[in-house]
Chains A and B, each alone.
Chain A
């Protein structure tokens, strides 16, 4: 055990080391943040919300120009309209959320101790529809992304505040997400951390790898590659495919757990979604 630990630490693998001793989420969060603070000493904490543009001056001005006429603006308008349009039973989405659904994204995802499940924002949107006799929407793009974009927009500036309750099932979900993040997978044998932690700021071919800290602040995101908005789980699928791993389904327990861990790691960062990316 001791030998394993020293081996892992000499290799700079802070996290597998902490995994062997079952660190608490709070401990993980502290180490995660200080890793990125050391790796990018010139980037102030809140700047990480800007993703790759926090560490790449060259592409930043281009991005700032895009954000002046945001390609997601129309989606926010569409989302607002959908959000405010009553269901057939006369109720609206507002009836399903705290504060009428305005400015609440920072609380998602959360662990529902009653059901033993993680609740994501998209999950709550579709649960609201089903509860009111409507069909659920597709998970990755389209209307659900528009509604989530509007809800994200009303939450801009609020700090991510994901909680891990003292509940064994919540801890298990958190650990599952952490495991997904650090485990090597796919034919190419790479973990999320390989690209977005240990090599954040390096180039893979011509692409600069963004730090995982701040990954989730601006979702759903408009990607030029997609020519539309997409949800976080759509992105997960894309990054899984890159390493030739068959992606999980959007809103599967696996991706919900990943989102839980991944978002918890960005606690304290201000939301700035929806965002625009390459």
Chain B
């Protein structure tokens, strides 16, 4: 009997918290789901031979038969603290290195701006 009220108490306080945050968790879950699907789309675009085909040159977790022309794509947040720089590298790799073999995906319109955005989101999770 002594325990019961305390359980009730915690349960109700948890409910109270949940209640007070009610507006946020709902949109939060939707945003998360949307974010997940954006990275999923980004992954599909990055792996698609007719789109990014990043695997032609980069090892990427989850990708098969990757080439080894470029560096493996991992620890991207550490290597690109500034996400805009990562996007710039994908948009036009020749800016940083005019001789690079990496195609200028944005400058040559190989991918659309929104496709690049999605790939950036995916690459940033690596």
Contact = CB atoms under 8 A, between A and B. Distances in A.
Interface in B89-112: 94, 97, 99, 101, 103-104, 108-110
Contact of A195 (B65, B68, B101, B110): B101
Given A199-B69, A202-B69, A204-B69, A190 B99 contact: no
A179 B68 CA distance: 27
B97 A188 contact: no
Determine the main DSSP class of A at the interface with B.
loop
Nearest to A194: B101
B110 A187 contact: yes
Contacts of A13: 99
Interface in A1-53: 11, 13, 16
Interface of B: 49, 53, 55-57, 65-69, 94, 97, 99, 101, 103-104, 108-110
A195 B67 CA distance: 12
A214 B103 CA distance: 27
Interface in A193-211: 194-195, 198-199, 202-207
A113 interface: no
A121 B104 CA distance: 38
Nearest 8 pairs between A and B by C-beta? A194-B101, A203-B67, A206-B65, A188-B103, A204-B67, A205-B56, A202-B69, A203-B68
Given A11-B97, A187-B108, A187-B110, A205 B67 contact: yes
> Interface of chain B, helix or strand or loop or mixed?
loop
Interface residues of A, number: 17
A14 B108 CA distance: 26
A189 interface: yes
B103 A187 contact: yes
Contact of B101 (A16, A199, A205, A207): A199
A94 to B, nearest CB: 46
Contacts of A11: 97, 99
B103 A189 contact: yes
A182 B94 CA distance: 16
